[in-house]
């Protein structure tokens, strides 16, 4: 962690971070009524900061356990003066189960999660049937779940999981990938994957 990131955590977390473990009132949290987008695992936060800046009408809640990434996003918020971003360092499953009300999210974004490539570690992958149904409970009707990965085998797993998931429709058509939408900024992990020659896969599903 850099000294700047540490300073951001010390000074800015009280304003933009969530420390409580109780249910979140989004209108109170953001000071207004707005569509809430949850990003799970935002990495260094650059793409989340860009989306928040490009969409001031939306409110963004990012969850990340890697503290340097949290500090880096706080620095981005400080530089840009953004007021529509809040951060959590909680475990995403705990956050969803204990703090986020049902039918409250307009969108969930999971970009380039850890692929856990070894077969014995596949059970650790975030995108699993039970987790997808937890997200479904938290999304409003018509809300979206956007997934992206550059790991082919995980991409296939994501597609199979989502196609079998109850209560979702694939916006690109059954069994189809979505061309990378222009509104999704290229992330640090995506750039690394592209340098390695990986194909990037996007999936966008709507809650029915």
Residue with tokens 């909680």: 90
Tell me which of 25, 54, 114, 156 is the catalytic residue. 114
Please choose, from the candidates 169, 28, 40, 47, the residue with its C-alpha nearest in 3D space to the C-alpha of residue 96: 40
**Rounded to an integer, what distance in angstroms lies between the CA atom of residue 28 and that of residue 100?**
13
**Rounded to an integer, what distance in angstroms lies between the CA atom of residue 104 and that of residue 54?**
22
150 is catalytic: no
Torsion of CA 159, 207, 94, 119, to 10 degrees: -10
Torsion-angle region of residue 3: left (phi > 0), alpha (psi -120 to 50) or beta?
Answer: alpha
Which amino acids are annotated catalytic?
114
């Amino acid at each position: 962690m850099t000294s700047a990131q540490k300073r951001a955590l010390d000074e800015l977390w009280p304003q933009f971070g969530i420390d409580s473990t109780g249910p979140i009132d989004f209108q109170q949290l953001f000071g207004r009524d707005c569509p809430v987008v949850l990003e799970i695992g935002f990495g260094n936060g650059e793409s989340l900061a860009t989306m928040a800046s490009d969409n001031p009408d939306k409110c963004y809640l990012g969850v990340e356990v890697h503290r340097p990434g949290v500090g880096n996003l706080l620095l981005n918020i400080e530089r840009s003066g953004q007021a529509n971003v809040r951060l959590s360092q909680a475990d995403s499953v705990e956050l969803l189960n204990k703090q986020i009300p049902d039918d409250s999210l307009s969108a969930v974004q999971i970009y380039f999660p850890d692929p856990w490539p070894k077969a014995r570690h596949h059970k650790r992958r975030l995108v699993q049937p039970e987790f997808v149904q937890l997200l479904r409970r938290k999304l409003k009707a018509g809300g979206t779940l956007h997934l992206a990965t550059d790991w082919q085998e995980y991409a296939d797993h994501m597609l199979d999981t989502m196609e079998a998931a109850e209560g979702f429709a694939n916006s690109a058509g059954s069994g189809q990938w979505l061309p990378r939408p222009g509104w999704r900024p290229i992330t640090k992990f995506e750039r690394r994957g592209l340098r390695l020659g990986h194909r990037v896969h996007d999936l966008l599903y709507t809650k029915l």
